[in-house]
Structure 1
């Protein structure tokens, strides 16, 4: 057994060591005990531990007491407040002592101040959290891998996750990233080459994260036994870098495509730095440009140089930003127009460093602007002098500008129209169509439209126009306003109306003449037949009393003929339509008069005629037309009476609001409406084999009734009879 060196005592032990009895009182101690705990050096034999070690946590008493019965060495880290009031961390190593009966006799306690280690560890943990840097280690002998807390957090795996070489590699995104890390590991193991790379991993949660992976090999006797390194989450920074690189590439492509050059003017040395696009804008080669301000000025057009120098001076003074355009002269003599913008850059103290700006060629724009100005002047001249009304209209319908022709057509002054919108003076009946077309243009469904519409003149009259509207679009593609051409066609419309009226009058006159001819033929034939029969009876009759009766009937027939001719004269006078020829007529008197005219026929056929209506009923009608209608209905009932029964005619009337409904019913042969219903009022349409059937009577009747603003309809059954329903305007309370 080794012995202690001569003169060596317990107090010289090179560690902070103390021996405590079962009551936690000191029995022995080293000198370093006082130095490590920064307490006063004195004889502490027999003193209680917690009287010597001040500000010790109360929980430590329980720990020491429990260690009396706990086998082995216990390692405890505790925070204390030392004698100078500073926070200190100590690592305690405690081992219990037993007697021969295995009973605790005390404790052997060592301590070391780990405050610096603790602080360093805290700083490292904070640094890990801030920089997101984790550590890793691969033992190639055992195959085990260690991942630090941050490394596990980056991979989004649980704290107790135990990786392997295979699973660790599989976290790298399949393809180039996984292949690259595999290759780097193999090279490190075989050739001892460390690596530092940026790759994508796919975390346990499926997220793609950019990481920086660094690794170094450790060799013993020429064999790689260990790999270790750090693992950093650089996702945010990497993605920002990639985005910036992408934006930089976009900017490069954009400036190239847009022919934009970027330049810097360094105020410290008067140097000018151009990108490659600038040389193209100025038409020179890079080797021909000396790269200073004076060299740049030589390419500026002489007429723009002084102005540009002044604007540069104001920009450098900070009085105003540089926003200008000027001309440059290419070495070949070509003049190009350049637009320039620039901003002043300063350091933290406000010292001006440089002017950074852009140039781009606007020659084509300037030339187009000149052409546009010429076109605008031309359009303005055409607009004002046009004989056709023209206007510029905003998308909300308000007038932007109008010419004198439009003002003349609508009766407003220019100032008055500019206070209105086209909706204000559009005829209400035409506004919806105009707005619908306008909405289609605004929606991009059409570029223009044309329609015939009406405006309201200032004096209230109607102005007819042909409107042509074309959309004008801004550079952005949106519609900025409309150009309207307004052709006044009021005179033409009025002429067309007069022509239509004349055609109506001519047609009405022709219809009247046609009806007149039919009425003359139809009505006078009935009268002539009646007169011929009476004359024949008179010549054949020898009885004086009977002859006198026939003479009275002959006088009555003559009077009826005279009245019919009087009515026919009225028809001739109607030239502007039936409406103007309508008169108040007593319906019962008219029916009675017509029946009187054909009294001989009624007696000859033994017709029973019943008339049931109010004697005061009056209708609006043309007398000759109404006579003709009634006469035709009477004669038809007689003509088409049934040979198997006594003919009957029943006439009734009914008042209905502003009309009179007259029903004319007989019990004659009837009409097969299934066969003839659609053509019953047609011209020359007959429905019975009667020798006198001409097929004209009902045609005339319908036209005459409709000419009096009335209607006629029929109900009929074969061998039962026929009812004609005639509706005429009531003359009650009417002029």
Structure 2
């Protein structure tokens, strides 16, 4: 019967507080507070670490499990007080054990944590009074449970909870957990702070959902919760929530389903107040829009490049210049992808200079040529973009297309040059007119004075003849001056394309007798298809003047030879008229060669007006004339006919 009782107790896991005293009493060993060194064989077999003590708290019996767990020797353990075995007991351990002895309820349990003298394991122990047949306490029954693993797990859980609380507090992100079956919502203090409610506020799941702003936010959160419960979806959404004081704030709401045995049993998630962030983002977007509006409407090309000279921002003017509809077609591209290699190399060199020296380039004139061949002149500035480390993280470029301005500047310069030239010509012309007319006037005055005082009729007749000749000379001078005026005032005469060879043949035909009489030869090396844009009336005069001059000023030792040829050069058709005549000392007469009434040879037909008129005709057609000559060898005139205007 005794063994059956023990087996029943053993099989039930050792309910010591109810059965241990009876077990020992039936073993019929008298203790009465005396030491016993013979261990009870039934206690030895108990599945838990268990000891029986007398009133002096000396060990009477102990289970083998007790000896094994604490690595105690039975010979050194039985009869020794508990406090000698466990040196880490607290100071009030004795009071606690005495309290257990004096307890009459038979159900006193004492929980206490300790670690053994041999290692760092932690144990939890339960204590109850051990009573005799008269129900008087004769000692204690103490049962030990190894709680080391539980304690470590609890410490880990406490540490993780502490970290979670700290993270929530620092990041101001609240956590919540909803149990579907119990319809219970648990929220942390951060969420209470977000909702602006006190610690005694009871959350409900439906109430939490209805606190979202009516419309998009509430509809969205309801749909997300439904899909999480039914489809197991995880979500994170930026929504508006209405707090208890009626204020609408932006929150980042996130959630995910929780499972048990493969079934969704709840939802847990986080909630973060992002009102300041949203306001900041809104302000940033407004500033970006303002800045974008500003730079897109500037009459300047604006761009930002990274350290690899790739464009990361461009404005509308830059897009228009590059001929693209969208900035996306330029972003991420370098100058090597947008311009030809030579221009890209120059630009990259400038970029590196600015980023390495941190010294901006301001107002540098540059020429850009796109891949489609468009060439433009820009006034460009490049300014380094400094990072927090003081180094360049890119650059800002600002450029202004000054192509039209440069063209206007060139036109103005040309106009100034023409005006200056015309002014010089006008001054020269006025001087010539004044000088020549004054000479003719003085001559007339002198001859008339002679005529008035002369008595001899024959002399009077001679004076009248001289007056007639003077009149003819004055008329010729006036005709020459009139022709010069006509050339410089007939600016609206239209230029027309003519075949140069046809005009040369026409001039040769008109000068045939003159050329034959002077044994002159013309070598025409001009193509039949050569066309020039000229005023037709001027080209015949120009050709005739240069050809007749080449014959007039021929060298006495050889017959005149005139060679005509053309080339194309920088928008001009250049006509060369080369002779083998006397030549001109250009060092001596070069700056006077095309002056009015300037002659450089003792020739009876030299009047000094032909080259002056011819030069005016050429310049009236936006052309120019140059001369090269060697005395005694000949002269070459080059006439530049402008093909563009």
Fold shared by both chains (TM-score > 0.5): no
- In the superposition, the TM-score normalised over structure 2's length comes to 0.42
